[in-house]
Amino acid sequence: MSLITQLPVLPIVIPLVTAPITLLLPKGRAPHLWATAVSWLTFACCAWLLSTVSQSGTISYHLGDWAPPMGIEYRLDLANTLVLFLVSGLAAVVFPFAYRSVQSEIDERQTPTFYGALLICMVGLLGVTITGDAFNVFVFLEISSLSTYALIAMGAKRDRRALTAAFNYLVMGTIGATFFVIGIGLLYQATGTLNMADLHDRLIGQDNRMVQAGFAFILVGIGLKLAMFPMHLWLPNAYHYAPSAVTAFIAATATKVAVYVLIRFFFSVFNFDFAFIGAAFTYVLLPLGLIGMFVASLVAVFQEDVKRMLAYSSVAQIGYMLLGLSFATVEGLTATLVHMFNHALMKGALFMAVACVVFRVGSHSISAFAGLSKRMPYTTWAFLISGLSLVGVPLTVGFVSKWYLLQAAFSAGHWYAGFLIVASSLIALLYIGRVAEVMLLREPASDGPLAGANKDAPLSMLIPMWVLVGANIYFGMNTELTGGLAKRAAVALMTSAGGAP
């Protein structure tokens, strides 16, 4: 059996097998080099899968050669291979970036555990994306969540409140997982299967209370996981107190994978024949998306800490994704998939820039950013370009996302949503502008770590960060990968759900 035929399972097997080895390595550089090499190999596999699926169509891989629905299936189509590419790509950038940041923020004795846990977190996110089995989604969600709790708690070296943040996240994550697995149990009771493609077939004509309850439990459970407003209160503290490299990774990937799960259940398990699907779009996702866009953005304006500001910004950006999804059209779903990809690039670069500031200054409060353009010019411009992308300035991925969302809103007849998208973007300009004003126009502190010297972050941090900044610009000008593949994925998902292609 050739290695090529096993390619669909390699993104899971490679990091899953190598993560325990990380724990056996001596503290220091060795775990980092090992984990970085694993992340690059995993990314190569995911990029190959995306290329293969794009050219040849859907791949179905049967674990243990047991055919579904009895066996577990890994099913790869354009939607999940795009997310696989995104998650593994972010990991391939964050792992080399992490070394110096981790050195300054985490106890050296914990470094093997840290990199092992980060690999396990990546395994969980990739597994959620690749599996075609509903219960396996729950298993991989818990794998990624449990490792994330531990990673957040490792921020206790800098601030003991990281332990409280990790515990709160654990409680909320457990509640979300419980809701989700109850929903899966109800669907299993109604159909006798856990394979998502088989669930789709067996649910046809079963618009009964058990199926409706199962859908409601799944929606609430995944809503907690993706920090859908108003179920987002765990997220600001988790991002704020986690080690900076952890924040950069989970902010760019974890909530995007949860949005993908929501899309997968809406379109690949249920379909438009169910009345409650339309009701969920109209009365849940649409209003909560719009409210989240504005409330979270307004809260971000008044934050005095950049990490917390960007955390609330993430809640607002999730609102954009839910808004596109709520239109229930090819254009809206395309906009959601595009924004999932683009927001990961923006937020990853922004949190990396914050990590560089924390490395040199030791703080992520807005006051610590005073005069950074004179002391850390490369970090400053990375933050500003990524911030402009978040606002939606032309020639950046943020503009592409907003353009797709605006087109979707007007084509769906929700013209008011188009104006609200623009208004929310102006609020983003306010909170990014606050930091920009401090970095560019304030005088740097006369004392402290940067006093009297230009001390930008080390190259091992600057290069990965600027790779993401460059991606913000490249994919802002070339939308063939993001827009083209997202459109094809959206057409396939809408067709499977019985919507208008």
Q: Quick one: pLDDT band at residue 448, thresholds 50, 70, 90?
A: low
Q: Greater confidence, 393 or 69?
A: 393
The SS3 assignment for 75 reads strand
Backbone angles phi, psi at 61, to 5 degrees: -115, 125
Report how far residue 451's alpha carbon sits from residue 447's, in angstroms, rounded to the nearest whole number: 5
Most confident residue range from 5-14, 270-279, 448-457, 462-471: 462-471
Question: Residue 109 burial by CB count (10 A; 0-12/13-18/19+): exposed, middle or buried?
Answer: exposed
- Across 245-256, average pLDDT: 91
Tokens of 414: 């929700």
pLDDT at position 370: 86
Which positions ≥6 away from 377 have C-beta within 8 Å?
Answer: 454, 456
C-beta separation of 132 from 195 below 8 A: yes
pLDDT at position 443: 78
For residues 42-57, one letter each, b for 16 or more C-beta atoms within 10 angstroms of the residue's C-beta and e for the rest, the string is bbebbbbbbebbbeee
Q: Quick one: pLDDT band at residue 233, thresholds 50, 70, 90?
A: confident
Beta bridge partners of 361: none
Q: Quick one: pLDDT band at residue 230, thresholds 50, 70, 90?
A: confident
C-beta separation of 324 from 336 below 8 A: yes
Does residue 15 have a cis peptide bond before it, meaning omega lies within 30 degrees of 0? no
Tokens of 13: 């097997």
- For residue 67, pLDDT over 80 is answered with no
How many beta carbons lie within 10 A of that of residue 121, not counting itself?
Answer: 28
Fill in the DSSP letter of residue 195: B
C-beta separation of 443 from 437 below 8 A: no
Backbone angles phi, psi at 293, to 5 degrees: -55, -45
pLDDT at position 4: 65
In percent, how much of the chain has pLDDT > 70?
96
Tell me the residue type at 12: I
The SS3 assignment for 131 reads strand
pLDDT at position 453: 52
Does residue 230 have a cis peptide bond before it, meaning omega lies within 30 degrees of 0? yes
Q: Quick one: pLDDT band at residue 452, thresholds 50, 70, 90?
A: very low
pLDDT at position 316: 92
pLDDT 10s digits, 93-122: 999 999 988 888 888 888 899 999 999 999
Which positions ≥6 away from 24 have C-beta within 8 Å?
Answer: 112
pLDDT at position 450: 55
C-beta separation of 259 from 315 below 8 A: no
Q: Quick one: pLDDT band at residue 469, thresholds 50, 70, 90?
A: very high
Q: Quick one: pLDDT band at residue 465, thresholds 50, 70, 90?
A: very high
C-beta separation of 38 from 18 below 8 A: yes
How many beta carbons lie within 10 A of that of residue 477, not counting itself?
Answer: 12
C-beta separation of 53 from 77 below 8 A: yes
pLDDT at position 227: 85
Report how far residue 421's alpha carbon sits from residue 378's, in angstroms, rounded to the nearest whole number: 31
pLDDT at position 148: 92
Question: Residue 142 burial by CB count (10 A; 0-12/13-18/19+): exposed, middle or buried?
Answer: middle
pLDDT at position 61: 83
- For residue 449, pLDDT over 90 is answered with no
In percent, how much of the chain has pLDDT > 90?
44
- For residue 58, pLDDT over 70 is answered with yes
How many beta carbons lie within 10 A of that of residue 443, not counting itself?
Answer: 8
Q: What is the mean pLDDT of the chain?
A: 88
Question: Residue 206 burial by CB count (10 A; 0-12/13-18/19+): exposed, middle or buried?
Answer: middle
C-beta separation of 396 from 388 below 8 A: yes
Domain ranges of the chain: 288-501
- Across 450-460, average pLDDT: 71
The SS3 assignment for 341 reads helix
- Across 306-331, average pLDDT: 91
Backbone angles phi, psi at 74, to 5 degrees: -100, 115
**50: nearest Cα among 7, 3, 95:** 7
C-beta separation of 111 from 262 below 8 A: no
Token look-up 């470094």 returns 111
**115: nearest Cα among 24, 19, 40:** 19
Beta strand spans in 177-262 (E): none
pLDDT 10s digits, 281-302: 888 889 999 999 989 999 999 9
pLDDT at position 481: 80
- Across 5-27, average pLDDT: 88
DSSP 194-207: -BHHHHHHHTTT--
Tokens of 384: 């500003």
pLDDT at position 2: 57
The SS3 assignment for 435 reads helix
Alpha helices by DSSP H, listed for 154-195, are 161-191
- Across 208-226, average pLDDT: 90
Backbone angles phi, psi at 365, to 5 degrees: -75, 155
pLDDT at position 270: 86
C-beta separation of 282 from 404 below 8 A: no
Q: Quick one: pLDDT band at residue 500, thresholds 50, 70, 90?
A: low
pLDDT at position 182: 94
- For residue 332, pLDDT over 60 is answered with yes
